Amino acid sequence: MYSQGLTDAKGQEEPADLLAEFQAKIDREEKIEPRDWMPAAYRKTLIRQMSQHAHSEIVGQLPEGNWITRAPTLNRKMILLAKVQDEAGHGLYIYSATETLGVSRDQLTDELLTGKAKYSSIFNYPTPSWADMGAIGWLVDGAAIMNQVPLCRASYGPYARSMVRICKEESFHQRQGYEIMTVLARGSQAQKDMAQRALNRTWWPSLMMFGPSDKDSKHSEQSMKWKIKRFSNDDLRQKFIDATVPQAEHLGLTIPDPDLKWNEETGHYDHGEIDFNELFQVIKGNGPCNKERLQARINAHESGAWVREAAAVFQQLQSEKNKSEAA
Amino acid sequence: MSELKLYEVFIRAKSGLNHRHVGSLHASDAQMALLNARDVYTRRKEGVSIWVVEAEHVTASNPEQEHEWFDPAEDKVYRHPTFYPLDKEVENM
Ligand SMILES: [Fe+2]
Ligand SMILES: [Fe+2]
Ligand SMILES: [Fe+2]
């Protein structure tokens, strides 16, 4: 119902009074709704950010899906299934919010499958052990929560509302992950080592989830002005580190950063340098699992083609049936 | 590829409350829309009843006419009880 043509602002001047009123509305903390006037650049930024977010939820099912058949107990299997199912739901909530901006779902899917759209770099890392399920829930979902909580107040109504729904579900994700780590950290030496290795693998990539450092972040300033973003990448990253280090200590696990130490003066942890070159490489497509992840999505899409075809035919038959019944 | 129809989803959280818009999804008919809505929007007992409506059947007011449409209610303060001061003696009415 919200569909609106994507008029490109290129060459088309946007009236100053509309622009001023739009910004004033945002400054008053009023939400922008789908059919309200908005600058083309705002729409474009939202489509890019929201579709990347939706793609991340969908691709994010893959590293954990890897362990569903091999979860150590039936209980763990049920929990992991429920979590992965939640991520599919998150994808749907955000895709449908993105569609209110006037793009079609087909177009979004197409952009993912052709590699034109990005998704979170973190999902391009492998999950070789069960402990990775713990590390992902604890750290990756933990980092996602840090990012998503401020998005509940994003200026675009449908995005903000989908985030409220998502945040309600995320905290179970983080806790089940931490619980997996707790059990392993209190288990045999082999289990402890497995937990530590998973933490070693996941720590730096999860810090990278917050994006490049503030001095290199190209979209930040405008997004702050539009209140799509509320905190800078580095601020959120610091919050995450401050929250997480004591949780690791509690389990007797060691954060793999020799430079990490509490700074009495600032009231924060100082940390070692993050290798952003790695982040840029993974985003470019050169992470350990980029090809595998994209191929998995392509395969799923292709082998699901018959389902979509059947549904389309069914839709056709149903509407003909309804017509003849009404006649 | 032809996309399936878009449905808007409304959920009643518990009896006594209104159905509330929660989001949308694609489906080939209303029955499929209901089933999918159940699966994605009520995984944690968020509802006891679901409505799905084909998005194209929703007629919406025009946001550009927001002021013409809704501002006239602003100056009709006499529609509110607080417009009528009461003598102290009859304080509760
Ligand atoms: Fe999620
Ligand atoms: Fe998320
Ligand atoms: Fe999650």
Strands A261-263 and A268-270: antiparallel
* Chain A residues inside the 8 Å CB shell of B60: 1, 35
A321, B38 contact by CB (below 8 A)? no
Q: Which residues pair with B25 in a beta bridge?
A: B7
Q: With bands split at pLDDT 50, 70 and 90, how would you rate the model's confidence at B63?
A: confident
Model confidence band, residue B73 (pLDDT cutoffs 50, 70, 90): confident
Across the interface, whether the CB atoms of B3 and A106 are under 8 A apart is answered: yes
- Residues in a beta bridge with B49: B12
Question: Residue A93: how many CA atoms within 13 Å on its side-chain side?
Answer: 26
Report the residue of chain B nearest A88, measured CA to CA: B40
Mean of the per-residue pLDDT values for chain B? 92
Domain hosting residue B54, numbered range: 1-58
Shortest-distance ligand to the CA of residue A144: 2
For residue B85, tell me if it sits in a domain. Answer: no
Least confident of A21-25, A180-184, B43-47, B71-75: B71-75
Beta bridge partners, B54, equal: B7
How many angstroms does the Cα of residue A287 sit away from the middle of ligand 3? Answer: 21
Specify the pLDDT at position B2: 67
H/E/C letters for each residue in chain B? Answer: CCCCEEEEEEEECCCCCCEEEEEEEEECCHHHHHHHHHHHHCCCCCCCEEEEEEHHHCCCCCHHHHHHHHHHHHHCHHHCHHHCCCCHHHCCC
Q: Which residues of A touch B65 (CB under 8 A)?
A: none
Flag if A1 and B56 touch (Cβ within 8 Å).
Answer: yes
Extract long-range pairs of B40-44: CB within 8 Å, 24+ residues apart: B40/A88, B40/A89, B40/A92, B40/A93, B41/A89, B41/B9, B41/B11, B42/B11, B43/A82, B43/A85, B43/A86, B43/A89, B44/A169
The reported pLDDT for the residue numbered A11 is 57
| pLDDT tens column, A137-191 | 999 999 999 999 999 999 999 999 999 999 999 999 999 999 999 999 999 999 9
Residue of B20, B38, B40, B58 to mutate, interface with A, max A Cβ within 10 Å? B40
Low-confidence residues of chain A, pLDDT below 50?
1-9
In a domain, B64, yes or no: no
Please tell me the pTM assigned to this model.
0.92
Q: Is residue B33 part of a domain?
A: yes
CB contact under 8 A, A105 and B26: yes
Question: Among candidates A307, A132, A321, A22, which has minimal Cα distance to B26?
Answer: A307
Burial of B6 (0-12, 13-18, 19+ CB in 10 A): buried
Q: Give me the percent of chain B exceeding a pLDDT of 70.
A: 98
pLDDT band (50, 70, 90) for residue B64: confident
Q: DSSP letter at A155? A: S
DSSP state of A226: T
Question: Is B43 domain-assigned?
Answer: yes
**Number of separate domains in chain B:** 1
Query: How much is the pLDDT for A8?
Result: 46
Q: How far, in Å, CA of A13 to CA of A3, rounded? A: 22
CA angle centred on B89, ends B87 and B93, rounded to 5°: 75
pLDDT tens profile A244-276:
999 999 999 999 999 999 999 999 999 999 999
Position B53 in a domain: yes
Q: Measured between alpha carbons, how far is A319 from A322 in angstroms, rounded to an integer? A: 5
Distance from CA of B25 to the nearest CA of A (A): 7
For residue A289, the Cα-to-chain-centroid distance in whole angstroms is 17
8 Å CB contact between A276 and A208: yes
Per-residue model confidence (pLDDT) at position A306: 96
Amino acid at A111: E
CATH code of the domain in which B1 resides: 3.10.20.520
- Residue B78 within any structural domain of the chain: no
> How open is the CA angle A49-A6-B34, to the nearest 5 degrees?
70
Q: Identify all chain A residues contacting B58, using CB atoms and an 8 Å cutoff.
A: 1
Which ipTM score applies to this complex?
Answer: 0.86
Measured CA to CA, the distance from residue A265 to residue A255 in angstroms comes to 21
Q: Residue B8 falls within a domain, yes or no?
A: yes
**Cβ–Cβ under 8 Å, residues A51 and A235:** no
Residue B37, in any domain of the structure: yes
